[in-house]
Amino acid sequence: MVVSERSISHEILVDTFAGRFDQHARQDFKWRIDYAITQGYRYVVLNMVAVSFIDSAALGWLVLAQRRFQRIGGKMCIIAPAGFVRDILELTEIGEWIPIFASEDDAVRSLEMSSPSSIPSES
């Protein structure tokens, strides 16, 4: 699996995955989540549009990562492609745990609305 990342803000990070998301990707995925949390990101968008395959182990890692973000008051969301990967995400009802979006703009907008820093302060 190939991963690239970019920061949207001091709270939101986008990780873009390409290739197979399976047992061979475990260490890289874990490192990416650890990095995001230690760098202070509370929200992560997983862009999986270029992922061609996902296995049951990867589904478990997604849920565990979401729990880690929830413990720090954050969350993850997924941008999923049409086809096999999206079918697997829907079949396993992963969307019950991690919101799934069709575009990065929709995902980022949702996270920005979730952020306490996006709520105007009362003066």
pTM: 0.86
- For residue range 35-63, what is the model confidence (pLDDT) as tens digits? 999 999 999 999 999 999 999 999 999 99
Domains of the chain: 2-115 (3.30.750.24)
Nearest Cα to 63, choosing from 83, 87, 33, 38? 33
Give the C-alpha distances (Å, rounded to integers) separating 29 from 52, 68, 122: 16, 13, 39
Q: What is the mean pLDDT of residues 106-115?
A: 86
